């Protein structure tokens, strides 16, 4: 027992006074929630104006509060504000300074609200603004990909399954695949913004308030679509943060997949892409090295973002209604994920825009691995009236012969092909080229250059609207 009362034997050398200091250490959130100062002050100003309008506080007190909050905002932005861990959080730090500035009137600001609805408001405002920033960054990234696709809508490259050459496609078509992915991310973040666009201010601690407040007024002033409808849910809901992290994880996964391809394609073994010096680094010992570090770091950021999602899901999974202190752990992961995703999108945008495409290497690889075999099978179905399974078998025999002769399918003679199946005619050579293979893929969503051009036009219209 003496160990507990005389010091900090159980917790190690960091703590010198015992449980009181430990409680401050675990309880204070000002070290990270101070980034919410602008949202907190905006919410307080809207709340003060509403209290005046509803005659809950006097106009004179309201005027003092607003001027005091403006002073605090200026102090924080100028780096002159002193944050105190003893005051726990951003709310109490601002309220304490307000009392120093305007005296007793500061105590009237907290009428008809609680730190529970206050933090729900601040955090929701911050996440909404972060989501809007990411919306703009995604639009820019999609625009760069569309421009790259337009430039390379007929640039030949191999399409892959299992990272094995499968069928030829165009690099423009490949770029547009990522446009579709990031387009879904754009849709997701906009859906999330719509759902989080409800104002919790006025829910108070959990049950609402007996004061005659006007929640629609504060909601409108803070730029929300409407107030939340249930006070219990208002202070305990963190779906907006979870949905933001879910969007961030999916988007980061798309970025990581593209980063992985840029890492592979920039190797000397592939040599499909040359990354600019702006987005590469060298080696401290090997002077020839040019490392795709930007792509690798984009790939790695996904792990951090996924971790933030799992962390918050785990925090929230067992909480009864309404507010619990566990929910103080909701912010740092979101802040980190938003920062990581902003950086990853910006890096990917710059890297793609500044990269060079090695067309000759791509085209050479597009024809390797008997990538036009399916075109031979399709010709047999169309022109020789074969069932596809039989055509598949015949084509497999042709590939085996080409492998034996160490040549391409298009280099086999008509006699070679007719020895496999007499129904093959010289017209088959009209389809046995990479260029004709790509041009023939005209089904909706296919890789033909005309299709790619149509998809580019469609997406430009979507972004424009």
CA-wise closest residue to 294 among 305, 274, 272, 279: 279
**254 a catalytic residue:** no
SS3 214: coil
Whether residue 372 contacts residue 409, with contact meaning beta carbons closer than 8 Å, is answered with: yes
CA-wise closest residue to 182 among 338, 292, 344: 344
Question: What is the average pLDDT across 86-111?
Answer: 95
- The Cα–Cα gap between 161 and 169 comes to 12
SS3 310: helix
pLDDT digits (tens, 9 = 90+) for 303-349: 999 999 999 999 999 999 999 999 999 999 999 999 999 999 999 99
pLDDT digits (tens, 9 = 90+) for 436-449: 999 999 999 999 99
- The Cα–Cα gap between 99 and 112 comes to 18
Strand residues in 265-334 grouped as ranges (E): 273-274
Indicate whether 8 pLDDT > 80: no
pLDDT at 427: 86
Average pLDDT, the chain: 92
pLDDT at 6: 40
Q: Which residues contact 144 (CB under 8 A, 6 or more apart)?
A: 349, 352, 353
Sign of the torsion formed by the C-alpha atoms of 376, 381, 385 and 386: positive
- The Cα–Cα gap between 359 and 230 comes to 59
- The Cα–Cα gap between 34 and 79 comes to 12
Angstrom distances, CA of residue 46 to CA of 40, 69, 100: 10, 11, 21
pLDDT at 22: 79
- What b/e string do you get for 293-327 counting C-beta neighbours within 10 Å, with b at 16 or more? ebbeebbebbebbbebbebbeebbeeeeebbeeeb
Q: What is the pTM of this model?
A: 0.89
Whether residue 319 contacts residue 344, with contact meaning beta carbons closer than 8 Å, is answered with: no
Q: State the DSSP H helix or E strand holding residue 218, giving kind and residue range, or none if neither.
A: helix 215-221
Strand residues in 162-290 grouped as ranges (E): 164-170, 198-199, 226-227, 273-274
Indicate whether 401 pLDDT > 70: yes
CA-wise closest residue to 204 among 322, 106, 105: 322
Indicate whether 112 pLDDT > 90: yes
pLDDT at 116: 96
Q: 51-55 long-range contacts, Cβ below 8 Å, gap at least 24?
A: 51/108, 51/109, 51/111, 51/112, 51/213, 53/214, 53/217, 54/211, 54/212, 54/213, 54/214
Structure tokens at 45: 């100003």
Q: For the chain, report the end-to-end CA distance as a whole number of angstroms.
A: 70
Greater model confidence, 5 or 328: 328
Q: Which residues contact 463 (CB under 8 A, 6 or more apart)?
A: 139, 142, 143, 146
pLDDT at 18: 54
pLDDT digits (tens, 9 = 90+) for 11-22: 355 545 555 777
pLDDT digits (tens, 9 = 90+) for 273-307: 988 877 766 665 665 667 888 999 999 999 999 99
pLDDT digits (tens, 9 = 90+) for 251-268: 999 999 999 999 999 998
Give the total residue count for the chain. Answer: 465
**110 a catalytic residue:** no
pLDDT digits (tens, 9 = 90+) for 356-377: 999 999 999 998 888 889 888 9
- The Cα–Cα gap between 72 and 42 comes to 12
Whether residue 103 contacts residue 41, with contact meaning beta carbons closer than 8 Å, is answered with: no
Structure tokens at 5: 């009362």
2, 6, 162, 268: the catalytic one is: 162
Q: State the DSSP H helix or E strand holding residue 401, giving kind and residue range, or none if neither.
A: helix 388-405
pLDDT at 10: 38
58, 283, 368, 413: the catalytic one is: 283
């Amino acid at each position: 027992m003496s160990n507990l009362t005389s010091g900090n034997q159980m917790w190690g050398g960091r703590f010198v006074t015992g449980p009181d200091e430990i409680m401050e250490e675990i309880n204070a959130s000002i070290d990270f929630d101070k980034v919410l100062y602008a949202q907190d002050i905006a919410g307080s100003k809207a709340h003060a104006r509403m209290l005046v309008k509803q005659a809950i506080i006097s106009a004179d007190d309201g005027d003092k509060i607003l001027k005091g909050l403006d002073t605090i905002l200026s102090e924080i932005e100028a780096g002159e504000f002193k944050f105190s861990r003893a005051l726990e959080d951003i709310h109490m730090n601002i309220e304490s300074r307000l009392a120093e500035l305007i005296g007793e009137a500061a105590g009237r600001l907290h009428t008809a609200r609680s730190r529970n609805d206050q933090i729900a408001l601040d955090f929701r405002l911050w996440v909404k603004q972060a989501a809007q920033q990411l919306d703009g960054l995604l639009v820019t990234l999609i625009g760069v990909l569309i421009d790259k696709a337009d430039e390379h809508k007929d640039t030949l490259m191999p399409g892959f399954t299992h990272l094995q050459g499968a069928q030829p496609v165009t690099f423009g078509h490949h770029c547009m695949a990522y446009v579709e992915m990031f387009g879904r991310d754009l849709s997701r973040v906009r859906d999330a913004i719509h759902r989080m666009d409800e104002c919790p201010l006025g829910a108070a601690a959990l049950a609402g308030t007996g004061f005659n407040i006007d929640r629609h007024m504060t909601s409108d002033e803070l730029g929300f679509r409407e107030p939340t409808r249930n006070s219990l849910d208002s202070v305990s809901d963190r779906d907006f943060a979870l949905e933001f992290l879910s969007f961030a994880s999916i988007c980061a996964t798309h970025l990581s997949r593209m980063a992985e391809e840029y890492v592979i394609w920039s190797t000397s073994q592939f040599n499909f892409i040359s990354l600019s010096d702006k987005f590469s680094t060298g080696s401290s010992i090997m002077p020839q090295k040019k490392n795709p570090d930007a792509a690798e770091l984009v790939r790695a950021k996904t792990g951090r973002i996924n971790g933030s999602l799992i962390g918050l899901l785990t925090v929230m999974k067992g909480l009864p209604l309404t507010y619990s202190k566990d929910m103080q752990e909701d912010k740092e992961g979101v802040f980190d994920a938003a920062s990581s995703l902003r950086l990853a999108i910006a890096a990917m945008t710059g890297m793609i825009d500044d990269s060079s495409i090695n067309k000759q290497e791509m085209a050479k690889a597009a024809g390797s691995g008997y990538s036009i075999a399916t075109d031979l099978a399709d010709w047999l179905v169309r022109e020789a009236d074969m069932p596809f399974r039989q055509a598949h078998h015949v084509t497999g025999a042709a590939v085996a012969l080409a492998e034996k002769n160490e040549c391409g399918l298009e280099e086999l003679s008509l006699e070679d092909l007719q020895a496999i199946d007499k129904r093959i005619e010289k017209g088959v050579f009209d389809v046995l080229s990479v260029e004709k293979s790509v041009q023939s893929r005209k089904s909706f969503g296919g890789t033909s250059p005309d299709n790619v051009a149509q998809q580019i036009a469609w997406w430009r219209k979507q972004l424009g609207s």
